[in-house]
Structure 1
Amino acid sequence: MTTAILVSILMTLVAASTPILLAALGELVTEKAGVLNLGVEGMMLCGAVAGFAVAFSTGSTMLGLLAAMMAGVATAMVFAVLTLSLTANQVATGLALTIFGIGASSLIGAGFVGRTITRLGPMFPAVLSEHPLLRVVFGHDIVVYLSLALVIGVSLFLRRTRPGLILRAVGENDASAHAIGYPVIAIRYAAIAFGGALAGLGGAYFSLALTPMWADGLTAGRGWIALALVVFAAWRPGRLLLGAYLFGAVMTLELQAKAAGITWLAPELLAMTPYLATVAVLTMMSLGRRAGRANAPACLGKPFSAS
């Protein structure tokens, strides 16, 4: 394998991992607050179509990214109102949110199907981003570096800051947190909004960077992989990063196999590979010692009422 091919594979791996990492990181914070939001896929699709529509209309990918985050937050707030204020079932509401996101993105994006925009470019100057070797480090766009910074930031926030400890306390024992005066509902609203913003940003990465065009179902189920990744990482940001790049490697192998013209494997089987890997990982964890279960927030998915 030549150096150029290896560099290309590494660049593809990072790009494929970034949207999953962003969506999973947002869901991790949401679940740490005790809320299970299964609507990640729907929020990603809403962010993808909003980001593309704004970027196509204005010519600015930065405005597109901002619009995607706002769309993700707006979609997440629908879930938050239903589950936190109206105490609807979180699982059913999350599934409904995914269905809503699929339909809404298809409706809004109907006029943009097949349209293309300028791809989100590298953050650093061409002398670094186009260097045969240095581009592995300096050849990525701003969202890639932001995702890595967010992993460090979220880890420090949850482990080293007072607000992070309060958020974890709300997820572990909401009744006790409420009893000592912490606003449980407000904290969970904030966590859900953060999760929605990152899911929207992850969705926009598909339409603005990976495939700078719009098509129905652009995220192709990556939101479900992000949900599984949170469990795989045992609710730890560091392991989440490793897991995201592991699944990114699986998807990269799929793309490289197609590019190499491998014909003895059916294309449909190659497309199934990331999802088969997700099922295999979750199955092995369920059959094993379930060491990560100790890190699951005790109040995850349970409704809370201040009364």
Structure 2
Amino acid sequence: MSTATDNPTPDSGGLAPDTVVTPTAGSGARKLPVVLGVLVLGLAIVLLRSSHSGDTTFRLAAETDFVTLPDVVVPSGPTAWVMVVICLALTAEAVRRMLGHLRQPMWIPIAFAVAWMIGFLSWAAADSRILIVSLLGGAVALAVPLVFGALGGVLGERAGVVNIAIEGQLLLGAFAAAIAASTTGSPWAGLVAAAVAGALVALVLGLFAITYFVDQVIVGVVLNVLVLGLTNFMFRQVLAPNAESLNSPEGFSRLPIPILGDIPLIGPLLFRQTPLVYVLYAVVALVAWALYRTRWGLRVRAVGEHPKAADTVGIKVNRTRYRTILLAGAIAGMGGAYYSLVSVAAFNREMTGGAGYIALAAVIFGKWDPIRATLAALLFGFATNLQGVLSSIGSPVPSQFMLMLPYLVTILAVAGLVGRSRPPAADGVPYRKQ
């Protein structure tokens, strides 16, 4: 293959870095202003219908921080309206770029999201205190299995296999981790068992999708249902009667990193975590590096973009797909271990709660790139944690709205903010060697 395509940019979809793309292609230039306009209009209507007086306190540091940052106290109503004005200005800029057929830069939705959230929290937490460390730290914790699942989805689809079975890989990984950690007394054994369980689900997916050319979406959905039924049955028949010996795993404890864990705001979020989270940091970095900077990554992307061309240069397409999907399943299975070794320290039925499908949305939102998919998973984790934080402070936001918030963010992100995204060309297409 030519040098120009050996190292494409993560968002280029296999094109050379100097390839000219029309400004509106894949930019979401028309969708973004509509989504931003609806969001700012909704916030303005909420403020007009239910304005709150008083102050909102944003606490930026934990009591154990080496350097304590002062609390930020702002007037609730005026701050919210200032953020509305900023959001209107950003929406106007997005409209201007749309009318001028210009590309929508990423800083517009990012700045809009920050301003909108500050305005919303200022209104929702009037006369209350928002613990920023708890809000963001909880978001990181809830995003851990989503990130593992999203990385598994990115690898599978980059190789040309639609990994709908992420939910099953997470759930079976949680089940295997609970049993292995309970019987051995080691959470690390549970983590290894979770990776093996996820790889087994991926092996079944590969057997039907790669070898027997069965529709990959159908196989993935069936596997999710199969794992759900299997784990429910095993929970009732095996784990519940023997909970003390088979469902009482030794979980991961927090392991603060010296010095780094004492950095204000950043330390509690990133460096006072469990070892599994540190493993996640390494996995994200390794996947991002290997996918774009190694011969293995080039081959994976080749079989996902143009398997016939890859075959002509000697790449074993189906073998590469098998190896990649097994690795993807193992990574997703490790995410399942978070539920039974960190979050709950036991296995419960249906404990993943559809996280695999949210992870799949993160793959699409992240445009099949490991770093972007990780950021998307963090966004969904933030939306999930926000409902708990606002409920704990007695926010006037209806509980029904808060329950649907993570899924609403998912829909808006995938349908609106992501714009047009192009999956790998051979994604979901079985390869039949001529």
TM-score by length of 1: 0.91
Match of 1:248 among 378, 381, 390: 381
Amino acid aligned to 1:69: A
Partner of 1:167: 300
- Separation in 2, partners of 1:192, 1:183: 14
Partner of 2:81: none
Q: Tell me, what secondary structure is at the counterpart of 1:147?
A: helix
User: Is the CA contact (8 Å cut-off) linking 1:122 and 1:129 kept in structure 2?
Assistant: no
Deviation at 1:132, TM superposition (A): 8.2
Amino acid aligned to 2:254: P
User: What 5-or-longer segments of structure 2 have no aligned partner?
Assistant: 1-57, 63-130
Amino acid aligned to 1:256: V
- Separation in 2, partners of 1:282, 1:127: 38
Partner of 2:181: 55
Q: Tell me, what secondary structure is at the counterpart of 2:152?
A: helix
Q: Tell me, what secondary structure is at the counterpart of 1:92?
A: helix
User: After the TM superposition, which of the residue ranges 103-112 and 162-171 deviates more from structure 2?
Assistant: 103-112
Is 1:273 matched up with 2:405?
yes
Match of 1:112 among 216, 220, 239: 239
Deviation at 1:262, TM superposition (A): 4.1
Is 1:233 matched up with 2:371?
no
Match of 1:69 among 179, 195, 199: 195
**How many residues are aligned here?**
301
- Separation in 2, partners of 1:101, 1:239: 29
Amino acid aligned to 2:160: G
Partner of 2:209: 83
Is 1:142 matched up with 2:142?
no
User: Is the CA contact (8 Å cut-off) linking 1:251 and 1:274 kept in structure 2?
Assistant: yes
Deviation at 1:263, TM superposition (A): 6.6
Partner of 1:45: 171
- Separation in 2, partners of 1:260, 1:217: 28
- Separation in 2, partners of 1:214, 1:22: 18
Q: Deviations over 1:82-137 (max 9, x none)?
A: 11111111111011111111111212222435755443112346897699864333
Match of 1:21 among 123, 126, 147: 147
Amino acid aligned to 1:135: P
User: Is the CA contact (8 Å cut-off) linking 2:143 and 2:378 kept in structure 1?
Assistant: yes
- Separation in 2, partners of 1:303, 1:27: 17
Amino acid aligned to 2:197: A
Distance change (3 Å), C-alpha of 1:138 and 1:107 = same
Deviation at 1:220, TM superposition (A): 0.5
Distance change (3 Å), C-alpha of 1:265 and 1:24 = same
Q: Give the helix-richer structure, 1 or 2.
A: 1
Q: Tell me, what secondary structure is at the counterpart of 2:367?
A: coil
Within-5 A mapping of 1:128-207: 134-207=267-340
Amino acid aligned to 1:120: F
Deviation at 1:265, TM superposition (A): 1.6
Partner of 2:345: 212
Q: Deviations over 1:1-38 (max 9, x none)?
A: 33333222232111111110111011101100011121
Deviation at 1:261, TM superposition (A): 4.0
User: Is the CA contact (8 Å cut-off) linking 1:53 and 1:109 kept in structure 2?
Assistant: no
Deviation at 1:264, TM superposition (A): 5.2
Q: Deviations over 1:223-281 (max 9, x none)?
A: 00111111101111221121111111101101212333447523x44232212211222
User: What 5-or-longer segments of structure 1 have no aligned partner?
Assistant: none
Deviation at 1:145, TM superposition (A): 1.7
User: Is the CA contact (8 Å cut-off) linking 2:251 and 2:345 kept in structure 1?
Assistant: yes
User: Is the CA contact (8 Å cut-off) linking 1:206 and 1:219 kept in structure 2?
Assistant: yes
Q: Tell me, what secondary structure is at the counterpart of 1:297?
A: coil
- Separation in 1, partners of 2:340, 2:401: 24
User: Is the CA contact (8 Å cut-off) linking 2:170 and 2:356 kept in structure 1?
Assistant: yes
- Separation in 1, partners of 2:281, 2:370: 10
Larger Rg: 2
Partner of 1:282: 414
Distance change (3 Å), C-alpha of 1:306 and 1:278 = same
User: Is the CA contact (8 Å cut-off) linking 1:83 and 1:303 kept in structure 2?
Assistant: yes
Partner of 1:305: 432
Structural RMSD (CA): 2.2
Amino acid aligned to 1:251: T
- Separation in 1, partners of 2:184, 2:257: 24
TM-score by length of 2: 0.65
Distance change (3 Å), C-alpha of 1:45 and 1:154 = same
Distance change (3 Å), C-alpha of 1:263 and 1:207 = farther
Distance change (3 Å), C-alpha of 1:261 and 1:93 = same
Within-5 A mapping of 1:255-270: 255-262=388-395, 265-266=398-399, 268-270=400-402
- Separation in 1, partners of 2:425, 2:174: 33
Q: Which structure is richer in relative contact order (CA contacts within 8 A, separation 6 or more)?
A: 1
